[in-house]
């Protein structure tokens, strides 16, 4: 939770190296900037590298909304071997590679296209998801029998990058909750020789790109030069949804969650339908609250008494 003593508010784009957990990075940044309200918007496995969006101060209150962004990954899939963890950690060093059939780029491109769209994916046995209060990787390492849960995910696009036997390189844009490890395992099943995820780099989170990210070392230098503020993305830039600007009188009472009426509105930015996430802003452009639309934007002018906005999070 954000504290009144927090100095920094917004988000930092961090280039996480392989070998650190996402939580390790959060702890490092907490120590560097000397504030506790720091959190990330989507876990990267310790072996993975790339873009980690780290929220500071008031932005930690809206992490769950930012986690909904699509993400893009560059992945290396090694064919011919399987893994208990679906990545390099669980590969049996004594296992003999299986025969890999002849694969041409056109065949691989066609196979990858079959994974695009909405699908049900089984969560890896070695993952941080909790079942009955315990993380799956804890259950798996203890030898307990359990059935990993399934989840519905959406793969927007898969691009074939290259193939240098036994390594297949792809680019995947997908919804939150998608496990690229599970995708790699399934590719191996379809090819018929098994496969595991050998390398993973996250290159984008929504509109934010790895090319704009800082390393923790960069951040350390900036703290010394007191230039970190230049690289913090303001809260107002983190949301891509529609917004309603409200009058100053209304914004002063926002903590109590007052009912929003037509007379309180200064302007609309963007259109929305019932159930869409929208934000309330004050006349200075600062975000006051996040919630869901209870009417279509086109209907607001029809009846001054209709309920317009359902609060989910007030930022104070």
CB distance 244 to 280 below 8 Å: yes
Confidence of residue 2 (pLDDT cuts 50, 70, 90): low
Strand 277-281 vs strand 287-293: parallel, antiparallel, or unpaired?
Answer: antiparallel
Number of domains present in the structure of the chain: 3
- What sign for the dihedral angle of Cα 255, 33, 204, 152? negative
Higher per-residue pLDDT: 19 or 305? 19
Confidence of residue 303 (pLDDT cuts 50, 70, 90): low
Active-site residue among 45, 87, 185, 264? Answer: 45
> What is the mean predicted confidence (pLDDT) over 178-200?
96
pLDDT at 136 over 80: no
Q: In terms of domains, do 119 and 183 share one?
A: yes
Q: In terms of domains, do 197 and 85 share one?
A: yes
Calculate the alpha carbon distances from 153 to 119, 131, 179 in Å: 6, 19, 9
CB distance 299 to 272 below 8 Å: no
pLDDT at 305 over 70: no
Question: 149 by DSSP, 3-state: which?
Answer: coil
Residue (of 182, 183, 201) closest to 85 by Cα position: 182
Q: Is residue 175 part of a domain?
A: yes
Q: In terms of domains, do 117 and 25 share one?
A: no
Q: In terms of domains, do 111 and 188 share one?
A: yes
Q: In terms of domains, do 176 and 221 share one?
A: no
Tell me, yes or no, if 45 is annotated catalytic.
yes
Over the chain, what is the mean pLDDT? 91
Q: In terms of domains, do 46 and 155 share one?
A: no
Where do the DSSP E strands lie in 146-272?
A: 150-164, 167-174, 195-205, 208-209, 243-246, 265-269
Q: Give 169's Cβ-side CA count (13 Å radius).
A: 7
Burial of 122 (0-12, 13-18, 19+ CB in 10 A): middle
Residue (of 78, 51, 87, 66) closest to 10 by Cα position: 66
Strand 49-56 vs strand 38-40: parallel, antiparallel, or unpaired?
Answer: antiparallel
Q: In terms of domains, do 108 and 138 share one?
A: yes
> What is the mean predicted confidence (pLDDT) over 46-70?
93
CB distance 148 to 124 below 8 Å: yes
- What was the pLDDT predicted at 63? 93
- What sign for the dihedral angle of Cα 155, 156, 161, 163? positive
pLDDT at 1 over 60: no
Supply the range of the domain harboring residue 25. 10-68+208-236
Residues near 190 by beta carbon (within 8 Å), at least 6 away in sequence: 111, 114
Of 184, 219, 236, which marks where a domain is finished?
Answer: 236
Q: Is residue 1 part of a domain?
A: no
Percentage above 70 pLDDT, the chain: 97
Q: Is residue 2 part of a domain?
A: no
Q: In terms of domains, do 78 and 195 share one?
A: yes
Confidence of residue 181 (pLDDT cuts 50, 70, 90): very high
Q: What is the CATH number of the domain that holds 30?
A: 3.30.2350.10
Residues near 2 by beta carbon (within 8 Å), at least 6 away in sequence: 9, 37, 57, 58, 60, 61
φ and ψ of 97, to 5 deg: -55, 140
The span from the CA of 129 to the CA of 24, in Å, is: 18
φ and ψ of 46, to 5 deg: -55, -35
Of 184, 205, 226, which marks where a domain is finished?
Answer: 205
Q: In terms of domains, do 290 and 261 share one?
A: yes
Q: Is residue 122 part of a domain?
A: yes
Higher per-residue pLDDT: 65 or 124? 65
Q: In terms of domains, do 48 and 154 share one?
A: no
Q: In terms of domains, do 152 and 270 share one?
A: no
Question: 266 by DSSP, 3-state: which?
Answer: strand
Q: How far apart, in Å, do the first and last CA atoms of the chain sit? A: 11
Q: Is residue 5 part of a domain?
A: no
Q: In terms of domains, do 169 and 130 share one?
A: yes
Number of other residues whose CB lies within 10 A of the CB of residue 71? 26
The span from the CA of 187 to the CA of 299, in Å, is: 47
Q: Is residue 158 part of a domain?
A: yes
Residue (of 200, 278, 294) closest to 242 by Cα position: 278
Confidence of residue 240 (pLDDT cuts 50, 70, 90): confident
pTM, 2 dp: 0.89
Give the residue ranges of DSSP H helices in 130-239.
136-141, 180-191, 216-225, 235-238
Of 205, 226, 257, which marks where a domain is finished?
Answer: 205
pLDDT at 101 over 70: yes
Q: Is residue 282 part of a domain?
A: yes
- What was the pLDDT predicted at 287? 94
- What was the pLDDT predicted at 144? 73
- What was the pLDDT predicted at 137? 75
The span from the CA of 57 to the CA of 145, in Å, is: 41
């Amino acid at each position: 939770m954000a504290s009144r003593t927090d100095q920094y508010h917004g988000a930092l784009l961090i280039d996480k190296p392989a070998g650190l957990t996402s939580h390790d990075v959060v702890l490092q940044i907490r120590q560097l900037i000397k504030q506790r309200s720091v959190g990330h918007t989507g876990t990267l496995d310790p072996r993975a590298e790339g873009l980690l969006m780290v929220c500071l101060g008031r932005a930690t209150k809206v992490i769950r909304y930012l986690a909904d962004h699509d993400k893009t990954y560059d992945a290396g899939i090694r064919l011919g071997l399987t893994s208990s963890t679906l990545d390099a950690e669980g590969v049996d060093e004594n296992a003999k590679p299986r025969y890999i059939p002849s694969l041409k780029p056109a065949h691989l491109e066609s196979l990858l296209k079959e994974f695009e769209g909405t699908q049900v994916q089984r969560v890896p046995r070695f993952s941080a998801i909790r079942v009955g209060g315990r993380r799956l990787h804890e259950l798996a390492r203890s030898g307990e029998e359990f059935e990993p849960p399934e989840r519905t995910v959406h793969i927007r696009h898969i691009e074939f990058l290259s193939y240098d036997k036994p390594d297949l390189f792809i680019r995947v844009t997908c919804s939150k909750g998608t496990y690229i490890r599970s995708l790699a395992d399934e590719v191996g099943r379809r090819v018929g020789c098994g496969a595991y995820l050998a390398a993973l780099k996250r290159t984008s989170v929504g509109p934010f790109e790895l090319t704009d990210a800082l390393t923790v070392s960069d951040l350390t230098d900036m703290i010394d030069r007191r230039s970190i503020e230049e690289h913090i993305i303001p809260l107002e830039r983190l949301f891509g949804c529609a917004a309603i600007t409200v009058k100053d009188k209304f914004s002063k009472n926002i903590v109590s969650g007052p009912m929003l009426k037509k007379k309180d509105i200064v302007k609309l930015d963007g259109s929305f339908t019932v159930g869409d996430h929208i934000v309330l802003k004050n006349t200075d452009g600062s975000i006051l609250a996040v919630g869901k639309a209870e009417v279509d934007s086109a209907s607001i002018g029809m009846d001054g008494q209709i309920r317009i906005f359902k609060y989910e999070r007030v930022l104070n």
